[in-house]
Amino acid sequence: MKRIGVFVCHCGTNIAGTVDVKAVAEAMKHEPGVVFSTDYQYMCSQAGQEMIKAAVKEHRLDGIVVCSCSPRMHEATFRKTAAAAGLNSYMVEIANIREQCSWVHKEMPIGTEKAIILAKAAVAKVSLNAPLTPGESPVTKRALVIGGGIAGIQTALDIADAGFPVDIVETKPTIGGKMAQLDKTFPTLDCAACILTPKMVDVAQNEKIRIFSYSEVTDVKGFVGNFDVTIKRKARYVNETLCTGCGACTEKCPMKKVPNEFNLGMDNRHAVYIPFAQAVPKVATIDPNHCLMLKSGKCGLCSKVCGAGAIDYKAKDEFLEERYGAIVVATGFNPISMEKFDEFAYAQSKDVITSLELERLMNAAGPTGGTLLRPSDHQHPHTIVFVQCVGSRCEACAEKGKEYCSKICCMYTAKHAMLIRDKYPDTDVYVFYIDVRTPGKNFDEFYRRAVEEYGVHYIKGMVGKVTPENGVLKVQGSDLIDNRQLHIDADLVVLAAAIEPDKSARPLATMLTASMDTNDFFTEAHPKLRPVESPTAGVFLSGTCQGPKDIPETVSQAGAAASKVIGLLCKDKLLGNPCVAHSDEMMCNGCSTCEKVCPYGAITYEDKEFRMPDRTTKVRRVAKVNEAVCQGCGACTVACMSGAMDLKGFMNKQIMAEVDAICK
């Protein structure tokens, strides 16, 4: 029989307000195996922990039950306390009488009754606990950053700065991401390219950083410290090491009418192309969907003009396998599709554009060379209407929009309005808004400047309809402050489209077994205290893959993610989780069911000789768990028909004992 101590925490009034903690401690004294039971105001405090240590010594305890908050909060704390008192740290059980009891009940008698039941279950479980020792695994001192936008770039630079090698996998032919497409950045109005491209060059020149552009992550196996990642290097039909980026091929390419995705389809590029002048790596890529040579075998001009001999029409996708200690997700965002927003006539008129398209129209390297011309007739627009929150904060239109606030639109719209008024003072600029949200450093000042100094007309209300008519966009909107309908004849309408996570994020999350919210943003391990870590160990989050963010925030998060990665890579060994699956070979019949349900690939099989009672030997196929790979999810234990598979620390009989204690 074990000697169990029960420690009931008041958590101030958090628990004691709804649970009679003294009654719980008293009730536990009569449970089998319990030799000591007490309560205290803050069990997690220094004094509380000292009390536990003293009780372990005085009463020779070999099992501890702490009735307190969620084990997610303080299980680790009390495990350390137990270890300090000379106990195995896995001889501790937590009865969650806060989140699952005091916080959800109002009546003291009900709360107390439930707390006693939960405590009994924990006592029943701890009676069956066995000491566990975590295994060790080495750390591969290399990081992978998935996504080469400003988030990925900053994270990679910071990790490399600490001396660790980093690989960036970017699906586009160049790194740079969305920031490379922007014109100016708020609130300082410095040019995006001027601050981003030096960083891109830094990445290219950093010896510790390898860039896998035009590549994708296709498979991830393994676990923190040892992720085995398969990277698909899509065939770009141009040898990256030979190509000098001279651009001779793109000039000669006869396929000139390919929509240019860098300018959001507002002009054309060639079938062989370099996305933009400052691209990194600065090498050409052949678009297999449009290249004549690849489609029909007739052309080959680029190959003829290439002095470096870099063109290779026979190139194939290559698969690279690399091992990493840590993975940073920086997959970024895209504006949502405006196709479904019929009321704004985005699909009907070329002069209804998104804000990102406006960035390109105002950018010196854009399709108009930086002169603001409307797309339909290349005339200067004189009346421009901005519509904010298109698809954001949109509970009613969940099928086409998003419920959340996209966060960056208020600021970039103020920026656009201000820049246009500054450059073209003869232009009337209207901004329709629901709220203006500017809670950043120097943000509100920035917005007020747009209104007060630049005379932008801010109108609280939403645009109901945009109708293209004789080259004019008839905008009908409501002014909620003056309570009247407005009719504006606009030359250009700019929609502040909501942003959503990149489509590659969902399959990536599945590969990484990292969790996501319903909007496909990656979930952080703790929204306040662990904002750059995924709940999956060794996976970190950088930038907008975790939620809408502007550039300053993205860069600070990128640095934070890098520091977490550096912290991990500095370690030589990682302690594993000893609560892993274990197969009883005498019971296992080798049926492979556990292997099929294991999400981590932790189970293999081996043919093993067994000595039979009649002194013969029998060879049987039995399951073997790789304890370093097992995450202790327990899927195998429920799938195993024979009951051979069990989870250390959560053995079937422990769970049953808890259920029995609760049902008694």
Partner 1 sequence: MQEVTRDALLNKALELLKNGTVDRVLGYRVGEFSYDVTPAVFENEDALKKDFCWNSFCGANFSKYLISETAKTEKKLLVFLKPCDSYSFNQLLTEHRFDREKVYAVGVPCGGMLSGKDLREKVESVSDVSVNGDKVTVKTLFDGDLEFDFETLLSDRCKNCKSKKHVAYDELLGEDGEVLDSHRFDEVERLEQMTPDERFAFWQGELSRCIRCNACRDVCPACTCEKCVFDNPNSGVQNKAAADSFEEKMFHIIRAFHVAGRCTDCGECSRVCPQHIPLHLLNRKFIKDINSFYGDYQAGAEVGSRAPIVNYTTDDPEPSEAVERGHGNA
Q: Which residues bind partner 1 (CB under 8 A)?
A: 507, 510, 586-593, 596-597, 599, 605, 618, 620-621, 639, 641-644, 653, 656
Which residues make beta-bridge pairs with 581? 647
Angle between helix axes 652-663 and 108-126 (nearest 10 degrees) is: 150
Distances (CA, A) of 546 to 241, 505, 613: 34, 10, 59
What SS3 class is residue 657? Answer: helix
Q: How far is the CB of 500 from partner 1 (least distance, A)?
A: 19
**Residues composing the chain:** 664
Residues paired with residue 466 on neighbouring β-strands, in sequence order: 475
Q: Which is nearer to partner 1, 16 or 657 (CB)?
A: 657
Query: What letter would DSSP give residue 256?
Result: -
Q: How many CB atoms are located within 10 Å of the residue 253 CB?
A: 25
Give me 133's structure tokens: 């020792």
Is-contact 430 403, C-beta < 8 A? no
Q: How far is the CB of 267 from partner 1 (least distance, A)?
A: 37
Question: Shortest distance, CB of residue 585 to partner 1, whole angstroms?
Answer: 9
Q: How far is the CB of 334 from partner 1 (least distance, A)?
A: 21
Tokens encoding 553? 């925030």
User: Can you tell me the distance from the alpha carbon of 220 to that of 534, in angstroms, rounded to the nearest whole number?
Assistant: 15
Rank residues 108 and 587 by Cβ distance to partner 1 and give the closer one: 587
Whose Cβ is closer to partner 1: residue 426's or residue 614's? Answer: 614
| Alpha carbon distance 591, 622 (integer Å) | 8
Q: Any residues with CB less than 8 A from the CB of 340 and at least 6 apart, and which? A: 399, 400
Nearer CB in complex with partner 1: 460/620: 620
CA gap 384, 416 in Å, rounded: 11
- Cα separation, 166 vs 209, in Å, equals 5
Structure tokens belonging to residue 90: 């896995």
Residue with Cβ nearer partner 1 (194 or 641): 641
d(CA 312, CA 170): 21
Closest approach of partner 1 to the CB of residue 642, in Å: 4
Q: Rounded to 5 degrees, what angle do the CA atoms 602, 70, 571 make?
A: 50
Nearer to partner 1, 272 or 623 (CB): 623
DSSP character at residue 589:
-
Measure the CA–CA gap between 558 and 560, rounded to whole angstroms.
Answer: 5
Q: Which is nearer to partner 1, 133 or 592 (CB)?
A: 592
Closest listed residue to residue 11, CA positions, set 37, 38, 42:
42
Going 148 to 150 to 152 to 158, the CA torsion angle's sign is positive
Q: Which residue type does 630 have?
A: C
| Least distance from partner 1 to the Cβ atom of residue 653, Å | 7
Q: Which is nearer to partner 1, 55 or 602 (CB)?
A: 602
Q: Whole-number minimum distance, CB 219 to partner 1, in Å?
A: 13
The count of other CB atoms within 10 Å of the CB of residue 33 is 17
**Identity at 361, one-letter amino acid code:** L
- Residue 201's alpha-carbon distances to 163, 204, 209, 355, in angstroms, are 18, 5, 11, 27
Residue number with CB closer to partner 1 (566 or 597): 597
CA–CA dist 189, 419 (Å, integer): 9
d(CA 291, CA 274): 14
For partner 1, the closer of residues 508 and 574 by Cβ is: 508
The answer to whether the peptide bond before residue 578 is cis (omega within 30 degrees of 0) is no
Least separation in angstroms between residue 660's CB and partner 1 is 9
Cα dist. 115→33, 122, 462 in Å?
18, 11, 51
CB of 329 to partner 1, least distance (A): 17
**Closer residue to partner 1, CB minimum distance, 29 or 618:** 618
Choose between 452 and 607: whose C-beta lies nearer to partner 1.
Answer: 607
- Find the shortest distance in angstroms from Cβ 621 to partner 1: 5
Residue 398 beta carbon to partner 1: minimum distance, rounded to whole angstroms: 17
Which residue lies nearer to partner 1 by CB, 411 or 594? 594
CA angle (23, 26, 27) in 5-degree steps: 85
- Least Å distance between CB 647 and partner 1? 14
Say if CB 311 and CB 253 are below 8 A apart: no
Cβ proximity to partner 1: between 429 and 508 the closer is 508
Contact criterion met (CB below 8 Å) for 215 and 175: no
Per-residue tokens: 418: 């201000």
The dihedrals phi and psi of 539, each to the nearest 5 degrees, come to: -110, 125
Name the residue nearer to partner 1 (CB basis): 246 or 591.
Answer: 591
Q: How far is the CB of 655 from partner 1 (least distance, A)?
A: 11
Alpha helices, DSSP H, located in 463-543: 505-512
Q: How far is the CB of 656 from partner 1 (least distance, A)?
A: 6
Give min distance, CB of 616 to partner 1, in A: 10
CA pseudo-torsion sign 451, 455, 459, 463: negative
C-alpha dist (Å) from residue 587 to 146, 439, 606, 630, 635: 43, 62, 14, 20, 18
Q: Which is nearer to partner 1, 348 or 592 (CB)?
A: 592
Q: How far is the CB of 597 from partner 1 (least distance, A)?
A: 5
**Nearest CB to partner 1, comparing residues 307 and 507:** 507
- Residue 499 C-beta: closest distance to partner 1, Å: 24
